[in-house]
């Protein structure tokens, strides 16, 4: 089909533009996932939104986003990178993915500045909810951040208000659809400014059956139109207010990826890492990664 060829051509063009990052980033490239090491630095404890499925905290055993063994100060984080550089000769990426919202914590920028000064050859990456991305883009550029993941769980404010309880923006608290609308607006604008700043952009979407299943296509389309290159649809981990909610099945994930795949390349190997993960993702051995088939996690 002509549109299929056009889609593949667009993916290749964008992928080629950022190939220096995407070819070695284990969260962007399936081959690199089994070869390249990455390190997450838990320096960002505060968050500016409350997702109803989110449960952050100190936990040495759980393997999921928001968990960490202990928080690091920027200089401690730099020392952690030094240690990882010695241990993993294939270390390519230094990322900050929480445990809160990286762009809501000044420690994120201080840490990336220190890392960039000592290790300019390592790629710097941020995982964000996107609320502050339009305002913080210059600070990210100054720290030489080359890739960013924006978590978008809906395009419709009614849907997002069922997922996000409240949003804090410029010192004001917004709840319900008003907060959801502000979040969505800034997320989409954030993708635009990040692409303009020549950053590789990945979109994460938490699939929540019965709530945002019908949104994945729109998320992919809107993000792709703004220049995002790849999408990672991940299963809900039932926690917090969604502790009684069912996680998606493998078929749910497969269908969602097929729908979103019409608009954007799909990444299927995400292991929903901790905020302090370190190593080669595809070589880490966790009992959870062996529980499901490949639509969930590789094993």
pLDDT digits (tens, 9 = 90+) for 148-161: 999 999 999 999 99
| Confidence label for 213 from pLDDT (cuts 50, 70 and 90) | very high
Residue 191 has pLDDT above 80, yes or no: yes
* Angstrom distance (rounded) from CA 220 to CA 224: 6
Q: Give me the chain's average pLDDT, please.
A: 87
Number of compact structural domains in the chain: 1
Each residue's pLDDT tens digit, 18-59:
777 767 777 787 777 887 788 999 999 999 999 999 887 666
Reported as a pLDDT band with limits 50, 70 and 90, residue 293 is very low
How many angstroms separate the CA atoms of 108 and 74, rounded? Answer: 8
What percentage of the chain carries pLDDT values higher than 90? 69
Asked if residue 297 is part of any domain, the answer here is: no
Is the CB of residue 93 less than 8 Å from the CB of residue 38? yes
Which residue range(s) make up the domain with 198?
2-290
Residue 295 lies in a domain: no
Residue 64 has pLDDT above 80, yes or no: no
pLDDT confidence of residue 32 = 73
Q: CB–CB of 148/199 below 8 Å?
A: yes
Peptide bond into 99 cis (omega under 30): yes
- Tokens read off for 73: 């100060």
As to burial, measured by CB atoms within 10 angstroms (0-12 exposed, 13-18 middle, 19+ buried), residue 43 is: buried
Per-residue pLDDT band for 284 (boundaries 50, 70, 90) equals low
pLDDT number for residue 59: 61
Q: Is the pLDDT assigned to residue 62 strictly greater than 80?
A: no
Structure tokens, 133? 């991305």
In a domain, 296, yes or no: no
d(CA 163, CA 35): 35
CATH number of the domain residue 84 falls in: 3.20.20.70
92 occurs within a structural domain: yes
Residue 232 has pLDDT above 70, yes or no: yes
Longest dimension (CA), the chain: 53
pLDDT of residue 50: 95
Find the helix or strand (DSSP H, E) in which 108 lies. Answer: helix 106-118
| Phi, psi of 117, deg, nearest 5 | -65, -40
Element (H, E) at 218: helix 216-225
Band of residue 279 on the pLDDT scale cut at 50, 70, 90: confident
Overall size of the chain counted in residues:
299
Between 75 and 279, residue with greater pLDDT: 75
Contacts of 287 (CB under 8 A, 6+ apart): none
Q: Is the pLDDT of residue 180 over 80?
A: yes
Mean pLDDT of 88-113: 95
Q: Is residue 17 part of a domain?
A: yes
């Amino acid at each position: 089909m002509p549109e299929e060829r056009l889609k593949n051509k667009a993916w290749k063009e964008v992928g080629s533009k950022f190939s220096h990052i995407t070819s070695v980033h284990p969260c962007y490239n399936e081959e690199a996932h089994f070869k390249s090491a990455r390190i997450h630095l838990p320096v960002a404890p505060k968050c500016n939104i409350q997702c109803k499925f989110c449960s952050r905290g100190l936990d040495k055993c759980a393997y999921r986003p928001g968990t960490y063994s202990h928080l690091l100060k920027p200089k401690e984080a730099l020392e952690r990178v030094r240690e990882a550089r010695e241990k993993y000769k294939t270390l390519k990426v230094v990322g900050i993915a929480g445990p809160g919202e990286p762009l809501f914590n000044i420690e994120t920028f201080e840490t990336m500045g220190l890392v960039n000064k000592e290790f300019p050859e390592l790629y710097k990456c941020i995982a964000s909810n996107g609320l502050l991305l339009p305002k913080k883009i210059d600070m990210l550029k100054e720290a030489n951040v080359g890739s960013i993941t924006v978590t978008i769980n809906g395009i419709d404010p009614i849907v997002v208000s069922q997922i996000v309880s409240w949003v804090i923006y410029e010192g004001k608290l917004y709840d319900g659809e008003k907060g959801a609308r502000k979040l969505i607006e800034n997320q989409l604008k954030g993708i635009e400014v990040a692409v303009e700043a020549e950053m590789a952009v990945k979109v994460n979407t938490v699939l929540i059956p019965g709530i945002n299943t019908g949104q994945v296509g729109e998320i992919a389309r809107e993000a792709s139109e703004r220049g995002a290159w790849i999408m990672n649809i991940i299963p809900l981990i039932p926690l917090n207010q969604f502790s009684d909610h069912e996680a998606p099945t493998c078929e749910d994930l497969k269908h969602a990826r097929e729908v979103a795949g019409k608009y954007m390349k799909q990444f299927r190997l995400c292991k929903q890492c901790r905020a302090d993960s370190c190593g080669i993702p595809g070589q880490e051995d966790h009992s959870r990664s062996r529980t499901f088939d490949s639509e969930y996690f590789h094993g």
